[in-house]
Amino acid sequence: MLPPRPAMLLLLLTLACSDGPVTGTMDPDPGEDASSDTDSIGDPDTGTDAGTDAETDAETDAETDTTPRYAKSPKRGLAYNIVQEEDLAALGPGVSWWYNWYFTTSADTTVAAAEELEFVPMLWGHNGESDYTALEGWLLAHPRVQHVLVMNEPNLTDQANITPQGAVSHWLRYEAFQDRMRAEHGRDILLVGPAVTWGTMPGYADPVAWMDAFYDAFEAAEGREPRIDRLAFHWYDYGLDEQLTRLERYGKPFWVTEMANWHTEPGWTIDTPEKQLQTMKDMVATCERRADVERYAWFMGRWSPDPHHTSIFAEGPGELTALGEAYLTEPWSE
């Protein structure tokens, strides 16, 4: 059965201000430079001086003490555009990283470092050269970051919407960026993606179908496999473990960069906070148990109204929901 349709990601980043569930399509427009439309994801710093020397020094100082402040899962993350210091402080005891579908963040990364929270940037798809320049500057200002998320839901027509054949040129640009960071700056940046899911692209709704076709197209064009360091996956239903097992064929470690349960079939509907809480526990247990899952991120931080009961935060800054409190304290393996 085709699982429920995944999130309208970038538009949902301002859900706390929305008047109802978001059902529109995603920005950026595939025909436009992804750097040209950022209103839907808050107010990220898009300048090439995204990290000043002072910020870099302060962040490094905050990380100098190697004694962990918190005992928490290094895998556990959040898909959400965090902008408030109170939210960072609330997450610190139980969450290790977050991302916001963009390549910079307006959150105070010095505060994040003190809370042992890492921001991971993303090249969402259809990115212009100015985005690569801005990302390079951001990475240089944040020398501890080692990953870049790439290509968000290519087999969803209202997300990145990139065919397997069209993905070849995008991936070559990612690899060129990776090569430049190594050659020019001595930085080994790992590519995490594509972030596949069960989608809406004709012929490629199944993520395995899209991935197989992508590998075939890349091999035909370049005579080799694409350089995928980590494979990302999104899931909004029961059966996460089985879905990841299907993707083992590619031999890559996993990042589950969006997960929740939006099931609507009668008898199995997630229609109460208690049901979502239980499915969260099951998903976290799967990700913590599997050695091939390096990181995972719950979707999402705040959503008002919240039809699927997935919010980690309540309305107030730093105020956790019951699900949020449980997410931070779920068992994990060292």
pLDDT value of position 25: 30
pLDDT value of position 56: 52
Work out the average pLDDT over 272-278. 97
CA distances from 171 to 125, 168, 217, 256 (A): 10, 5, 11, 20
pLDDT in tens, 151-195: 999 999 999 999 999 999 999 999 999 999 999 999 999 999 999
CA distances from 97 to 29, 69, 233, 255, 296 (A): 27, 15, 17, 12, 9
Work out the average pLDDT over 289-303. 97
Identify the CA nearest to 301 among candidates 24, 81, 90.
81
CB atoms inside a 10 Å sphere around CB 66:
5
**Close Cβ partners of 231 (under 8 Å, ≥ 6 residues apart):** 192, 193, 194, 196, 247, 250, 252, 253, 254, 255
∠ at Cα 10 (292, 126), nearest 5°? 80
Work out the average pLDDT over 106-114. 94
Cis check for the bond before 226: say yes or no (omega within 30 of 0): no
Q: Where are the domains of the chain?
A: 10-15+54-60+70-305
pLDDT value of position 334: 76
pLDDT in tens, 216-264: 999 999 999 999 999 999 999 999 999 999 999 999 999 999 999 999 9
**Close Cβ partners of 188 (under 8 Å, ≥ 6 residues apart):** 146, 181, 182
CA distance 194 to 171: 9
Q: Does residue 8 carry a pLDDT above 90? A: no
CA distance 127 to 73: 32
Question: Which amino acid does the sequence have at 41?
Answer: I
The answer to which of 18-22, 260-264, 269-273 has the lowest mean pLDDT is 18-22
Report which DSSP code applies to 245: H
Higher pLDDT, 259 or 6: 259
Mean pLDDT across the chain, nearest whole number? 85
Work out the average pLDDT over 92-109. 97
Q: Does residue 42 carry a pLDDT above 70? A: no
pLDDT in tens, 51-97: 445 445 555 554 445 577 889 999 999 999 999 999 999 999 999 99
How much of the chain exceeds pLDDT 90, in percent?
Answer: 78
Q: Which CATH superfamily is domain 10-15+54-60+70-305 in?
A: Glycosidases (3.20.20.80)
Work out the average pLDDT over 306-332. 97
